[in-house]
Structure 1
Amino acid sequence: MVDVLIVGGGNAALCAALMAREAGASVLMLEASPKDWRGGNSQHTRNLRCMHDAPQDVLVEAYPEEEYWQDLLKVTGGETNEPLARLVIRASSNCRDWMRRHGVRFQPPLSGALHVARTNAFFMGGGKALVNAYYRSAEALGVKVRYETPVTEMLLDGDRFVGVVTEAGERITAKACVLAAGGFESNREWLREAWGRNDRGEWPADNFLIRGTRFNQGVLLKAMMKAGADMIGDPSQGHCVAIDARAPLYDGGICTRIDCVSLGVVVNREGERFYDEGEDFWPKRYAIWGRLVAQQPDQIAYSIIDRKVVGRFMPPVFPGVVADSLPELAAKLELPVETFMETLDGYNAACQPGTFNHTVLDDCMTEGVAPAKTHWAQKIDTAPFYAYALRPGITFTYLSLKVDDTAAVRFADKPSPNLFVAGEMMAGNVLGKGYTAGVGMSIGTAFGRIAGTGAAAAARAAHTIGRH
């Protein structure tokens, strides 16, 4: 019997496996995907949001605990567990040396591109390189990894973990377990159930694209719900981004994001604006736009910019629709030209004089138009004009297992003695709604390490009990 079983294969699972192994436990990881697709959503990440009180290696200036907390408070609208959030924030300040010991390398962010040189540490080679580094380190330390081994059933004795059953019917037991198998964002039926029908009779989830792995079906979340584990979070909440409508159904990752939203206007299928595009810096507000687009007819919208802002944002992978006039652009997009022009003319007339600066919260705003645009409001009047179609791109879901600072799964508000959880399966404790860049990796790293340490200790305790 193995000491610690890890179910999952992404960042949180790997952090748990490494910590458990470092603590002396024998460790087996079960990853649902083939080896080539290992790593879950972590393979698509780029950075980790890090608290720091002074300049550190790849991070400039300072990003103190209170500012990090206020950023998180703002995007979640207060729907967060403050003690657990602060645990994550503090853990983000001192994990990088441990990560480096396991082969992760960091690089400075692209200066001026995303306003995150102060707040986020970027992985050299992105999330795929991080995942590969952790797997190399895990295997060198003796962690056993089995791919293409989805778990379909949990074996429990009350609140105590006994084992799992795999899709092939194999029973695997262990002294302790860490669940880190992701959310249910790839389960279309569950998404439909969570989002329901809108007042137009549409099923919004039918038009969602999945930014990450196709293997996150939520099987273990369902199993734990059925077993009576304490849950937290709204199943319709998640990290949902407005991405290129031409993105693939799965695994589009970071390169499908459209980053020019804050520099222009966004209209729906009816040619109307529906939200303040300049509310805040893009890394702080980009994650609200998937949900906003999901609420529009046909779950589609269009980001409209002109030549003046080209070069001021990360260019999309696919070229936009281009036209020499706004009416021509509307026609190419098959939008109602008259309504579209009323929207653009009204917006342009509302733009007030100011000093445009996309690197700060500038004084360029609108007056007398709804919705207002509170920063970076410039007239869209310089040909050529560009448009990018947007769809909701769901990254991960926030329905979670409820935890405390031990990462133990809870039953009737009591912690399991040997079953722990990390990553997306518990992120809803910190993220009730909303998102800010890099915080998912902060949560997975912090709780993965806590869960791995806890599982190793539980396995030692079981061994001691067994000897007596």
Structure 2
Amino acid sequence: MKDVLVIGGGNAALCAALMAREAGASVLLLEGSPRQWRGGNSQHTRNLRCMHEAPQDVLVDAYPEEEYWQDLLKVTGGITNERLARMTIRASSRCRGWMRRHGVHFQPPLSGALHVARTNAFFMGGGKALVNAYFRSAEALGVEIRYDTQVVGIERDGDRFIAAVTAAGERIEARTCVLAAGGFESNRDWLREAWGRNERGEWPSDNFLIRGTRFNQGVLLRHMIDAGADAIGDPTQAHMVAIDARAPLYDGGICTRIDCVSLGVVVNRDGERFYDEGEDFWPKRYAIWGRLVAQQPGQIGYSIIDQKAIGRFMPPVFPGTSANTLGELARKLGLPEATFVQTVEAFNAACRPGSFDHTVLDDCATAGIAPAKTHWARPLDTPPYIGYALRPGVTFTYLGLRVNENAQVYFDGRPSPNLFVAGEMMAGNVLGKGYTAGVGMAIGTAFGRIAGVRAAHACGFEHPDFDMEQSNAIAS
């Protein structure tokens, strides 16, 4: 019987396994996917949002705790646990050295990437390189890893973990356990249950695409909630991005995102605008657009730009639809031509002169039109025009398990002494809604490391480089 059982194979699970093993505990990690698909949604990531008080290697200037907190507060609308959020923020300033020791490399943001050189550290080779580095390190340290092993249930004695039960009926005992098996974004039935029908009689979730892994079915999350674990979060809230409507159903990843929204206008299938495309910097607001599109008829939108936008955003993997006139573009996209042309011409007429600068909140805005475009508003007047059809792309869901600063699972308001949770299964404690680039990896890294250390501690092992008293002080 192992000291620590880790269920999951993404960033949070690997951080937990590595920390527990470093502390001296024996560790078994169960990954539900085949080896070639290992890593969960972490394989599709590319950066980590990091607090820092001064320039650090790949990070420029400073990104202090209070600014990070205010950014998180803004996107969540206050639906966040401040104590746990600040733990995540402070932990993000201290984890990169440890990550490097386990083979993770960082690089400055590429030209045309998100404007986050000050706030986010980018992984060289992306998330796939990160999870591969962690798996190599885990194997070298003696972590036992099993693939194609889906856990469907947990045996408990009261609030104490006893064993995990796999889909094959195998019973696996351990002294402690860390749950890090992801959310339910790939479970089409659960998405339907959560979203229901809208006022038009549509099932919105039927038109959602899944940016990440197909293996996050939420089986273990559902089991834990049904078994009485304290849950937190709204099942309709998720990291949901507007992505190319031609993206695959699963595993499209980062390259399917459409990053030119703030450089033009977005219309629905009726040819009408429905939200301020220039509300804030794209890294802070890109994750609201999936939900906005989900609320439109048919769950589809269209991002429209002209030639002035070319070269100012990361081009998606699929080329857009191009036309020399607005009417031609409408016909190619299947939009009502007269309404679409009127929408764009009205927007053009509402644009006021200003100094365009997409790296700052500039003074290029509209006047006398609703919805307004508050920054980066320039007339679409330089053909050929380009349009991208958009669908909601779900990255991960926020419904999860309640935790405390020790990453403990709760049952009826009592923390379990030997059952912990990290990653997407508890991210809703910090992310009640909204998203800002790189914070998911920050949550997974912070609570994965905490869960691993606490699980090992529950077995009598102390991590040599993790100060438990400092962790408690940070939490308070």
Q: TM-score, normalised by structure 1?
A: 0.98
What is the 5 A alignment of 1:234-383? 234-383=234-383
* Alpha-carbon distance between aligned partners in 2 of 1:435 and 1:164, rounded to the nearest angstrom: 32
Superposition deviation, residue 109 in structure 1: 0.9
Aligned residues: 461
* Alpha-carbon distance between aligned partners in 1 of 2:108 and 2:124, rounded to the nearest angstrom: 9
Superimposed CA distance per residue, residues 104-147 of structure 1 (whole angstroms, 9 cap, x where no aligned partner)? 00011124632100000000100000000000000000000000
What is the 5 A alignment of 1:73-222? 73-111=73-111, 113-222=113-222
* Alpha-carbon distance between aligned partners in 1 of 2:338 and 2:105, rounded to the nearest angstrom: 52
One-letter amino acid matched to 2:96: R
* Alpha-carbon distance between aligned partners in 2 of 1:113 and 1:445, rounded to the nearest angstrom: 23
Runs (5+) with no aligned partner, structure 1? 462-468
One-letter amino acid matched to 1:204: P
Report the 3-state secondary structure (helix = DSSP H, G, I; strand = E; otherwise coil) of the residue aligned with 2:181. Answer: coil
One-letter amino acid matched to 1:404: N
Superposition deviation, residue 155 in structure 1: 0.7
One-letter amino acid matched to 2:188: R
**Are 2:164 and 2:173, in contact at CA under 8 Å, matched by a contact in 1?**
yes
**Are 1:300 and 1:390, in contact at CA under 8 Å, matched by a contact in 2?**
yes
**Are 1:243 and 1:256, in contact at CA under 8 Å, matched by a contact in 2?**
yes
* Alpha-carbon distance between aligned partners in 1 of 2:125 and 2:54, rounded to the nearest angstrom: 25
One-letter amino acid matched to 1:445: T
Q: Which residue of 1 aligns with 2:20?
A: 20
Runs of 4+ in 1 over 4 A off after TM superposition: none
* Alpha-carbon distance between aligned partners in 2 of 1:31 and 1:229, rounded to the nearest angstrom: 22
What is the 5 A alignment of 1:17-96? 17-96=17-96
**Are 2:366 and 2:372, in contact at CA under 8 Å, matched by a contact in 1?**
yes
Q: Which residue of 2 aligns with 1:464?
A: none
Superimposed CA distance per residue, residues 256-287 of structure 1 (whole angstroms, 9 cap, x where no aligned partner)? 00000000000000000000000001000000
One-letter amino acid matched to 2:220: L
Q: Which residue of 1 aligns with 2:411?
A: 411
Q: Which residue of 2 aligns with 1:466?
A: none
Runs (5+) with no aligned partner, structure 2? 462-476
Superposition deviation, residue 460 in structure 1: 2.5
Question: RMSD across aligned C-alpha pairs, in angstroms?
Answer: 0.7
* Alpha-carbon distance between aligned partners in 2 of 1:110 and 1:277, rounded to the nearest angstrom: 24
Report the 3-state secondary structure (helix = DSSP H, G, I; strand = E; otherwise coil) of the residue aligned with 1:223. Answer: helix
* Alpha-carbon distance between aligned partners in 1 of 2:56 and 2:295, rounded to the nearest angstrom: 41
Superimposed CA distance per residue, residues 302-326 of structure 1 (whole angstroms, 9 cap, x where no aligned partner)? 0000001101000111000000000
Superposition deviation, residue 179 in structure 1: 0.1
Superposition deviation, residue 48 in structure 1: 0.2
Superposition deviation, residue 209 in structure 1: 0.3
Identity of aligned residues (%): 79
Superposition deviation, residue 226 in structure 1: 1.2
Q: Which residue of 1 aligns with 2:229?
A: 229
* Alpha-carbon distance between aligned partners in 2 of 1:290 and 1:221, rounded to the nearest angstrom: 23
**Are 1:113 and 1:312, in contact at CA under 8 Å, matched by a contact in 2?**
no
**Are 2:39 and 2:131, in contact at CA under 8 Å, matched by a contact in 1?**
yes
Q: Which residue of 2 aligns with 1:454?
A: 454
